[in-house]
Each structure stands twice: as C-alpha cells, then as structure tokens.
Amino acid sequence: MVDFNNNQTVTTAPKDLLNIMILESRFNLKEAIESYKRNKLKNNIDSIDEIKARLYSLYFEVQAPLELSLDKKDYEKFVQDIDSEDFDVVFKACIFLNKWLYGKGLIKFDINKIYDGTNPEEENEVNGIN
C-alpha cells in the first residue's frame, strides 16, 4: 500500500505516465513500420494491418486532445487515413500524428531551457550553479 504521508514514497506524475505510454506506443509503431519495410524489401507480401493496429493504439492515447485541437475536417481526414489500405496514406497519418505530438511537447527531447549565453547570471541559474 502506498503511504503518501511518508516522505520516502516515490510517485510518478500522471503527465509523465502519459508520456511513457505515448513513447511506448510510438516505439511499437516504429517497429511495425520497420518490419513492414524489411519484409517489403525481401519481396515478401505483407499487409499493413500491424502498422494500422499500432497507429490505432497510439491514436487512442491522445484521441480526445487531438480531436479538440484539430478542425473537424482535418480530424475526420486523419481518422479516415488510418483506415486506408494504402501504406503511403497510413504513413502520412503517422507523420501527421508524430508532428502533432511533437508540437504538443509530448515527445520532445529537446527540452533544455534556451537562455542568453552572454548573460553569466542566467547561464549559472539554468545550470544550477547559483
């Protein structure tokens, strides 16, 4: 049982858990795309069903904020593109979702604070030297 009154209890913020779930779903999608391309290069006939399933998994993680932030027409086109049987259309939907996630800061890794390098006080504060 977790005791939140104990200072030694370690918890994870809900936003961090969401980021982990998104990153995991995104990694799985990337793996499915790599597998599809690898099989395609070997001239093995392969369907895009696994890619679509992984894309749906990632989509369900962010469905509500995605729908609220897009125009209705853009959102409906995105959902329609996920259902396509054409790899290029589904791949464009993956790229679109990837850009949206990056724009919302959900997959950003370049989160370092940008500061004026000519100001030593600000640089020290950012680097925790103060």
What tens digit of pLDDT does each residue of 73-116 get?
999 999 999 999 999 999 999 999 999 999 888 887 655 666 56
Per-domain residue ranges for the chain? 14-126
Which pair of tokens denotes residue 71? 């125009």
pLDDT digits (tens, 9 = 90+) for 16-29: 788 888 999 999 99
The type of residue at 86 is: D
pLDDT reported for residue 118 = 74
pLDDT reported for residue 20 = 86
pLDDT over 70 percentage in the chain? 78
What DSSP state is assigned to residue 92?
A: H
pLDDT reported for residue 46 = 80
pLDDT digits (tens, 9 = 90+) for 19-66: 888 999 999 999 999 999 999 989 887 889 999 999 999 999 999 999
Angle formed at CA 102 by CA 101 and CA 108, multiple of 5 degrees: 120
Q: Is the pLDDT of residue 123 over 80?
A: no
The SS3 of residue 7 is coil
CA–CA distance, 39 with 90 (Å, rounded to integer): 17
